[in-house]
Amino acid sequence: MRCILRLFSMTASRITLGLVATVIVAGLTFARETESRAAILPRQFGGWQMRGAAQSSIDPAIADPTNVALLKEYGFTDFQSATYSRDDGRTLKIRAARFESTSGAIGAFTFYRQPEMQKEEIGDWGCSLNQRILFYRGNVLVDAAFDRVTVMSAAELRELAGLLPRPGGSAGSLPPILAYMPHQGRVSNTEKYVVGPAGLGEVDSPLPADLVNFNAGAEVVIGKYNTAAGTATLVVINYPTPQIAAQQLRKIDAAHRVAQPQPGVASVQDVGPFFDKRSGPLLAIAAGPLSPSEAQALLASVNYEADVTWNQNTYFDKRNNIANLLVNIIILCGILMGLALVAGFAFGGLRLLVKRIFPDKVFDRPEEMEFISLHLSEKLAEGAPTSPGPGSGTPKT
């Protein structure tokens, strides 16, 4: 009984120690993940030192109280702000927002970017206006405000961009729809990347959210283009499949034909001339002050190009390579020929050895001879008459 109790006590102690170790490991892992997730901004970079502690939050209202719904659409995860200083007394305030993917950072960047900003080679995409510099790197959007800009400010922020955390896997991929926006005639800093109705409501779009149908997985890019009569709007919508795009195009055309907006019926806004077309899963809409020829030229520059990926296993490894197979066949044939030669020599040598040791006892025994010998040579030597051949007769004298 004591042994059973002792065994039970030892088992319970081991289980308790295992549970405690599991809880400790889980707690350390959670602490490391939390610390890694909160660490958006570095403590120092390019001669700048963080003053105090960074302010972190997962509430989008802390990052931008007026655009909470928009940040949620772009996949906002957390926010961090900090003030940096240098030995010469200059200060720098940085606000950094992190999103679930690079697409969210691009969308937020295009939303906060102003048309009057100048392009900057900082991060993946940057721009500046006076002391303010806006850029994104991976899935992090950074808004930096200098108290005084110097010739080294851009280089210092490039160093900061290199220290920002990067997303892994497909989260770091760029939205393919951005490549379909034509460059010719485009007004700088006017393209906006939209993934939901809140973002669409903040831009000048000729289509309402109902006709875009974000529930079907649509993503939108809107840009302004110069025309002879003014500034027109180009909208490019990407859907998951060409079938969904064709269905939405029919709805847009039907809404455009509605003369007067009716309650409960979606219709396009009155923006002047309206032209649209479909190219694969893409819809292109040109609206505003532009002629039919200008609209056709603008829409013709939006063309879907299918990127086919062949992901079938082609078996080019060493095991399944056809050249390696042929080499192995040749080697196999050589091995079989060698085995045949060895077996032949072994069989013949064994037969000769047995005949030498046991002559006429194992092989070539007289009682097992299967052929008849006439011994003609012996008869000719003894002078015995031979039988005449067929057709021969008696010689005459």
- The answer to whether residue 72 scores a pLDDT higher than 90 is yes
84 within 8 A of 94, measured Cβ to Cβ? yes
Please give the backbone phi and psi of residue 356, each rounded to the nearest 5 degrees, phi first. -75, -40
- What does 288-353 look like in DSSP terms, one character per residue? SS--HHHHHHHHHT----------S----STTT-HHHHHHHHHHHHHHHHHHHHHHHHHHHHHHHH
Q: What digits encode the pLDDT tens for the residues 145-191?
A: 999 999 999 999 999 999 999 888 878 888 999 999 999 999 999 99
- The answer to whether residue 268 scores a pLDDT higher than 60 is no
Three-state DSSP class for 241? Answer: coil
User: What span, in angstroms and rounded, lies between the C-alpha atoms of 249 and 254?
Assistant: 9
Three-state DSSP class for 165? Answer: coil
20-172: which CATH number, 3.40.1000, 2.30.42, 1.10.10, 1.10.3470?
A: 3.40.1000
- Going from N- to C-terminal start, the domains of the chain cover 20-172, 175-307, 316-365
277 within 8 A of 299, measured Cβ to Cβ? yes
User: What span, in angstroms and rounded, lies between the C-alpha atoms of 88 and 109?
Assistant: 31
Find out if CATH 3.90.1570 is the number for domain 175-307. Answer: no
Q: What digits encode the pLDDT tens for the residues 280-328?
A: 999 999 999 999 999 999 999 999 987 666 666 666 666 667 778 888 8
- Among 270, 286, 276, smallest CA distance to 224 is for 286
Three-state DSSP class for 1? Answer: coil
How many Cβ atoms are within 10 Å of 295's Cβ, its own excluded? 23
Q: Chain-wide mean pLDDT for the chain?
A: 83
